[in-house]
Structure 1
Amino acid sequence: MSGPDGSGPSAAPGSSDAGSGVEGDAGGGGGLVPALAEPLERFLRHLSLERGRSPHTVRAYRSDLRSMLDGLGEPAELDLAHLRRRLAEAHSAGAARTTLARRAAAVRSFTAWAVRVGVLGTDPGARLSSPRGRPALPEVVRADQAAAVLDAAVSGAAEEHPEALRDLALLEVLYATGIRVAEACGLDLADVDDSRRTLRVVGKGDRERTVVFGVPAARALDRWRRLGRPALVGPQTPPALFLGVRGGRIDPRVARTVVHRAMTAVPGAPDIGPHGLRHAAATHLLNGGADLRHVQELLGHATLSTTQLYTHVTVDRLKVVHDQAHPRA
């Protein structure tokens, strides 16, 4: 796994760090009895190797399923009453609606798999319902604030220090494209098409898409690759676009720190991370007149409903569209 400075082994695209997320993870099945721990680990290997889930996702499934299976002595004891009781206990302990929804989804996936492979005779998760999550949107960065943050990063890179050049290029790419932080950290040099100003991005589920970036991001990427990246390259450096200080692929935790630090440099700007920049990119595109489906493609969302939850259009923009489009505006 990469160290805090992002100089360890390269992470898989779409993951938050390196490693399979299954083998070698301390704890295995946790406090579960062997009769449950063994099928749990089989299911996690199925997620990782057959369904291509990221190490981060596999760890989340492990944690949620340990919680839902806790207290059982064997698979035959897993029924709908037990699952409902575990969710009720989590709710009483103050778990958020999104947590309950995530645990219910995890256990439904597990029980469906367990029936297919013969671990369970019936599927108790099929009838398990849970509160729908209410995803909270991050605080919105205004377009002028985003511009001020990037202008400050440009000034910081004036002396062409390698880390400053990298940070500027990373900020420009995140804001220009709206890609996820793990996707940015997973980029390789070959993923950049300078002539078309595009990036080849590998997202969730190993789905590939192409995103575009503008002239400021192109300039920042060019300076980073010519003047900054060569100073960090070492004997074991991978073909990663963004590097840590010891020459390894940059770690998402480092990228988050870069964004938070850049936001604090501008008075009045909200303290957000890469997710906030992703939201800002989508929101500013919509406010500028972009079609929602184009934004969906840019963000890599499988469904339009996800984009609708992820973004919002200001009242002013709605008024402009209404005035332009409605016959009785």
Structure 2
Amino acid sequence: MSEFLARLREGDDEHPPLAANSAARTLVAVRGLHRFLALEGEVETDPAAAVSPPPPPSRLPKAISLGEVERLLDAAAVGDTPASLRDKALLEVLYGTGARISEAIGLDIDDVDLDAGVVRLEGKGGKQRLVPLGSYAREALTAYLVRGRGTFSSKGRGTPAIFLNQRGSRLSRQSAWTILRAAAERAQLRGHLSPHTLRHSFATHLLEGGADVRVVQELLGHASVTTTQVYTLVTVQQLREVYAQSHPRAR
């Protein structure tokens, strides 16, 4: 079975090599077949029992450049409607704090101190952290709270949530993701964006600017610095690419 797995990954004259995920799925199917045959008594032993599928390849977080972030944030606001003010504030908060989408839409009025420029985020396991709120995010959030949120809240039941939908209820994760995708389309950003794109970009840009990895860990709310160190691999990879393109003896 181990040799079969190796052949899947390497390919031959008649079969192209399979990616790790495809090879793993094929092996799972083969293991299921052998397990069934063993249970039915068709074979005496299960040769696949001791073979585990390969772990999926680790993927580095996908960040976008500062220029792309600026295009995305500029495209978030279309006019001066309550929805545009909300969308702009939401994306500014996501990039300005590194919050997960679930953390951003979970914000209540009492979680934000605009005078101090601080926001309280509740992460995984109910763990809370205080994160600075930059001037751009503060300005966008103030504009939404003063000129936009009241339009939504008047249709609801007095929820303390900051980000509201058209019915005056807390904005859902799916709606927030739709807002991000719509802004990306207007900004004509190519490639794959995920709900974590602005969070990844927040961390990557901080590290590129010289921030200590443990400070970034606290800002992101990671329990272990090992999780945060994945972002240092992104910056190292980018350095390698620049080196390979620019150094006369790199090629």
After TM superposition, the score normalised by the length of structure 1 is 0.55
Tell me the equivalent position of 1:250: 171
1:262 aligns with 2:183: yes
1:200 aligns with 2:123: no
Shift of 1:259: 0.8
- Offset at residue 316 of structure 1 (A): 6.6
- Preserved contact between residue 141 and residue 269 of structure 1 (Cα < 8 Å): no
Q: Percent identity?
A: 42
Q: Is the 8 A contact 2:99 2:220 kept in 1?
A: yes
Structure 2: how far apart are the matches of 1:195 and 1:317?
38
For residues 218-255 of structure 1, what are the alpha-carbon distances to aligned partners after superposition, in whole Å with 9 as ceiling and x for unaligned? 01000100111000013413100100111000000001
Matching of residues 1-329 of structure 1 within 5 Å: 91-93=27-29, 132-154=55-77, 156=78, 159-233=79-153, 234-310=155-231, 312-314=234-236
Q: Assess if the C-alpha contact under 8 Å between 2:98 and 2:219 holds in 1.
A: yes
Are residues 248 and 139 of structure 1, via their aligned partners in 2, closer, same or farther at CA, if it must alter by over 3 Å? same
Structure 1, unaligned runs of 5 or more? 1-87, 95-128, 319-329
Where structure 2 has 5 or more consecutive residues not aligned to the other structure, the ranges are 1-23, 31-51, 241-251
Letter in 1 for 2:184: M
Shift in Å at residue 270 of structure 1?
A: 3.4
Q: Deviations over 1:19-52 (max 9, x none)?
A: xxxxxxxxxxxxxxxxxxxxxxxxxxxxxxxxxx
Q: Which amino acid aligns with 2:64?
A: V
Shifted more, 262-271 versus 177-186: the winner is 262-271
For the residue of structure 2 that corresponds to 1:298, the secondary structure is helix
Contact preservation (8 Å) 2:27, 2:53: no
Q: What is the CA distance between 1:271 and its match in structure 2?
A: 3.8
In structure 2, give the amino acid aligned to 1:150.
Answer: L
SS in 1 for 2:131: strand
**Rg comparison, structure with higher value:** 2
- Look up the equivalent residue of 1:266 and give its one-letter code: A
User: What CA distance in whole angstroms lies between the structure 2 residues aligned with 1:268 and 1:243?
Assistant: 26
Per the TM alignment, residue 149 of structure 1 is displaced from its structure 2 partner at its CA by: 1.4
CA distance in 2, matches of 1:303, 1:195: 31
Q: Secondary structure at the match of 1:211?
A: strand
| TM-score between both structures, scaled by the size of structure 2 | 0.70
The 8 Å contact of residues 260 and 271 in structure 1, kept in 2 or not, is answered as no
